[in-house]
Chains A and B, each alone.
Chain A
Amino acid sequence: MNMATSTPVPTGLGESRTSKASDRIKMQARDVKVYYGDNEALHGVDVDIFENEVVAFIGPSGCGKSTFLRCLNRMNDTIPGCRVEGDVTLEGQDIYAPSLDVVLLRAQVGIVFQKPNPFPKTIYENIAYGPRLHGLARRRAELDDIVEGSLRKAGLWDEVKDRLDQPGTGLSGGQQQRLCIARTIAVQPEVILMDEPCSALDPIATAKIEQLIDELSESYTIIMVTHNMQQAARVADRTAFFHMGDLVEVDSTDKIFTNPGDQRTHDYITGRFG
């Protein structure tokens, strides 16, 4: 259906990739342009995302990495005046096709935001909301299982199992972010987008989230935006460098940080600008 699959794009697939990631293309973007009103924020991005890999988007502020991330589950739809051109596919399916239901897309491509944003409800309700919304659990026991499983995967179960009926907003920042991750996992998406998930957290909470991302990549495809280059180096299989609305290069993390192909990438990771 999509012509773009045949177009070769530098993937950075090399020996350095971890074994977790497969060669199956999960998501694909071709010539994605984003406009805010008349202003073109992204000038045509081409990238392939493989199943079960962790991809990090890095780049200076305002380079368009978050904008691109939000294109991947159409969160940009909610921004007035925002327009997306080009093709984005999930498993070969055009996600901007008129026939596609955005609700279904977001159930497949979940998102975790920069600032933890739990609902002002109980911890249980925070997790149960998504499954209940999509009718994933028919009985209370099933829902309980989903809640427990999601919290376990997010590494939060032991900390909150005795206070599931307490407000999620009462947790610490790091716990809240893991709660948000658990909430996203509860819907069992295939891809998880993370928009600077650790920027509001302290180093210990950050370490926990990073470890979590590592574990989650066993079963999910994870795309994260980060400002922290060490973080990208620690958790990502591949890293994409954005600059001024362009995707400058995407390659294996090792290569980006040791031997980047583009001068701008080199300047950025060595701290010349950004």
Chain B
Amino acid sequence: MTTDTLTIEERSRQRLATIEASLAGRHARERRFRRMGLGAVVTGMGLVLILFISILMRGVPAFWQATFYLDVHFDPEVIQVDEKPVRESGESASAFRERELAWMSRVGLVNWQQIIDEALKAELGEIEARQTRDLRALITSGERHALRDRFIEDPSLLGETVRLKMLASANVDVWLKGNIDRSLPDRQQQLSAQTREWADELYARGVITNAFSTALFLNTDSRSSLASAGLAGAFMGSLFMMLVVIVLSVPIGVASAIYLEEFAPKNRITDLIEININNLAAVPSIVFGLLGAAIFIGYLGLPLSAPLVGGLVLTLMTLPTIIIATRASLRSIPGSIRQAALGIGASRVQTVFHHVLPLALPGILTGSILGVAQALGETAPLLLIGMNAFVANVPGTPLEQSTALPVQIYLWQGNELRNFFEARTSAAIIVLLGLMLSLNALAIWLRKRFETRW
């Protein structure tokens, strides 16, 4: 009897010992797995951090540009134009507009460069005629148009002297920021020795300062006046495209997902559709660009480089993402809710719209916004429909030629004046990332807003 109990005790001790022996290995595996997971997270976060830091370090300086503060004299001797026309009583709008335009073109013919030259000479003293080229390399060429526009806005400036902010040329900016090796010989420098000397002198005297510039946000792209090249056109282009994408892909995607998930019979055809939608989500985006070029531009004859076409192409690309996210979200709603509504006598449409959809809404919104954000960052398909064209105006409608933020980044990244555009590219990336982060923040906010507590 006692031996029996002993053996039972022994056996139980043995069993415990076996389990205990295996414990060390199990815990080690658990620790190893946890450490690997942590390692993966830390690596990922580290890489993202490096990305952000490097982009910020390169891009943020581009928001500050070498800027002149000059006393500009609107010399009546140079600006020889009559008074800005005023609409007379009885004059038709078109006749007045015609007179106004004629006046504007006369203003445009004024030698504004001379006004700027004079303002610079006032700072630097008299210069020789052969140095005019060196002088004009200081200020970016866009400023003379800005001066003209300022005068058209306010003709009373005639004869006045005003202190104005003017952007230095891109090369001066590069030189002053030290983005070019100062020890390079003359023939390898972008600026002449004279211009460089003047730039340093004016910087030391505070005529040139490194000031925050709105050019990046307010101007369009430019190839003649690089220092004032901005993102306004690309930003509006992207905005119009996002509008098209949201207006088209969200309703179509959500509606198809609801139909496929809640109403469609489950048969071969719907299976085939499902497989195809999943495959479409994995199609390289450039293929959608080819499709868009062939159908929207080639067949339907829509204009090249138009945000409408870009939006349509990105809609095609976004649809599978939204459909898949919406279906997953609908599927996650427990069947008991559907049965409860059906059991009371709700029709299927009522069940879906009163109960299932409101519960699935946070997931649908998140999926949709992530899809739209993905479309916002897409470049490849846009290249094929001509959105990589150089466009120097802000589109007013989705049918006007335009470019897009990611395409602008791509274009600037390839610009020959690397020293200047490296920072500018990073600054554009910051703007794009900012836009995307706000979209994602919106997604999170909407999710929280519509989330139902169970």
Contacts and interface: CB of A to CB of B under 8 A. Distances in A.
B345 A80 contact: no
B268 interface: no
- Decide if the interface of chain B is mainly helix, strand, loop or mixed: helix
A110 interface: yes
Contacts of A119: 337, 340-341, 355
Given A120-B359, A167-B453, A113 B336 contact: yes
B27 interface: no
Interface of B: 266, 334, 336-347, 350, 354-355, 359, 452-454
A133 B346 contact: yes
A110 B344 contact: yes
Contacts of A111: 339, 343
Contacts of B343: 73, 75, 106, 110-113, 184
A78 B340 contact: no
Contact of B342 (A78, A104, A184): A78
B303 to A, nearest CB: 47
B339 A117 contact: yes
Interface string A113-129: 10101111000000001
Given A75-B343, A117-B337, 7 more contacts: A75-B342, A103-B345, A106-B344, A113-B336, A119-B341, A120-B359, A169-B453
A106 B347 CA distance: 10
Interface in A221-265: none
A169 to B, nearest CB: 5
Interface residues on A, range: 20 to 34
A187 interface: yes
A88 interface: no
A118 B340 contact: yes
Given A130-B345, A133-B346, A167-B453, A113 B354 contact: no
Contacts of A107: 344-345
B344 A184 contact: yes
Contacts of A113: 336, 339-340, 343
A103 B347 contact: yes
A180 to B, nearest CB: 7
Given A80-B266, A119-B355, A169-B454, A133 B336 contact: no
B339 A130 contact: no
Nearest to B452: A120
Q: Which are the 6 A-B pairs with shortest beta-carbon distances?
A: A117-B336, A106-B345, A107-B345, A111-B343, A130-B344, A117-B340
A129 B343 CA distance: 12
B345 A187 contact: yes
A181 to B, nearest CB: 12
A147 to B, nearest CB: 14
Given A78-B339, A115-B336, A117-B339, A133 B345 contact: yes
A183 B339 CA distance: 13
Given A120-B359, A120-B452, A133-B350, A180 B345 contact: no
A127 to B, nearest CB: 10
Interface string A19-54: 000000000000000000000000000000000000
Interface in A154-175: 167, 169
A54 to B, nearest CB: 19
A146 to B, nearest CB: 13
A134 to B, nearest CB: 6
A104 B354 CA distance: 18
Contacts of A110: 343-344
Contacts of B350: 133
A184 B336 CA distance: 15
B336 A183 contact: no
B339 A75 contact: yes
A167 B454 CA distance: 8
Nearest to A117: B336
Contacts of B345: 103-107, 130, 133-134, 187
16 contacts: A75-B342, A103-B345, A103-B346, A106-B343, A107-B345, A110-B344, A113-B343, A115-B336, A117-B334, A120-B452, A120-B454, A129-B341, A133-B345, A169-B454, A180-B340, A187-B344
Contacts of B454: 120, 169
A129 B339 contact: no
B225 to A, nearest CB: 59
Nearest to B338: A78
B332 to A, nearest CB: 13
Interface string A88-110: 00000000000000011111001
Contacts of A180: 340
A60 B378 CA distance: 59
B342 A129 contact: no
Q: Report which residue of B337, B340, B344 has the largest number of chain A beta carbons within 10 angstroms of its beta carbon.
A: B344
A120 B453 contact: yes
Contacts of B453: 120, 167, 169
B355 A106 contact: no
Contacts of A183: 340, 344
B262 to A, nearest CB: 11
B342 A106 contact: yes
B345 to A, nearest CB: 4
Nearest to B335: A78
Q: Report which residue of A115, A117, A184, A187 has the largest number of chain B beta carbons within 10 angstroms of its beta carbon.
A: A117
Contacts of B452: 120
A129 B266 contact: no
Contacts of A169: 453-454
B359 to A, nearest CB: 7
Nearest to B355: A119
Contacts of A187: 344-345
Contacts of B266: 80
B347 to A, nearest CB: 6
A117 B266 CA distance: 26
Contacts of B336: 113, 115, 117
A169 B454 CA distance: 6
A60 B337 CA distance: 27
A83 to B, nearest CB: 14
